[in-house]
Copies of this chain bind each other. A is one copy, B any other.
Amino acid sequence: MRIDGSPWRSIFPDPDTRGRVRIIDQTRLPWDFVTVPLATLDDAAHAIRAMQVRGAPLIGATAAYGLALAMRADASDAALADAAATLAATRPTAVNLRWALDRMTAALRKLPPAARVEAAWAEAGEIAEADVACNQAIGRHGLALIAEAARAHPGRTVNILTHCNAGWLATVDWGTALAPIYMAHDSGIPLHVWVDETRPRNQGAALTAWELGAHGVAHTVIADNAGGHLMQHGQVDLVIVGADRVSRTGDVANKIGTYLKALAAHDNAVPFWVAVPGSTIDPTIGDGVAEIPIEERDGAEVAFLAGPDAEGAIRRIRVIPPGSAAANPAFDVTPARLVSGLVTERGCCPATAAGIADLFPSSV
Contact = CB atoms under 8 A, between A and B. Distances in A.
Contact of A221 (B212, B325, B332): B325
A309 B320 contact: no
A224 B264 CA distance: 14
A61 to B, nearest CB: 25
Interface string A214-236: 00000111111111111010000
Main secondary structure of the interface of A (DSSP, over half): mixed
8 contacts: A197-B319, A221-B302, A223-B224, A223-B257, A224-B224, A228-B332, A229-B259, A263-B264
Nearest to A164: B225
A76 interface: no
Given A305-B307, A309-B317, A320-B209, A327 B226 contact: yes
A276 interface: no
Contact of A289 (B222, B232, B257, B325): B232
Which 6 A-B pairs give the minimum distances between C-beta atoms? Answer: A225-B257, A307-B317, A229-B332, A30-B321, A263-B263, A199-B223
Copies in the complex: 2
Interface in A177-199: 194-195, 197-199
Nearest to A317: B307
Given A225-B256, A228-B332, A263-B267, 18 more contacts: A199-B224, A200-B223, A210-B321, A219-B324, A220-B324, A220-B327, A221-B302, A221-B327, A223-B328, A225-B260, A226-B256, A226-B332, A228-B259, A229-B329, A305-B307, A305-B317, A308-B318, A315-B315
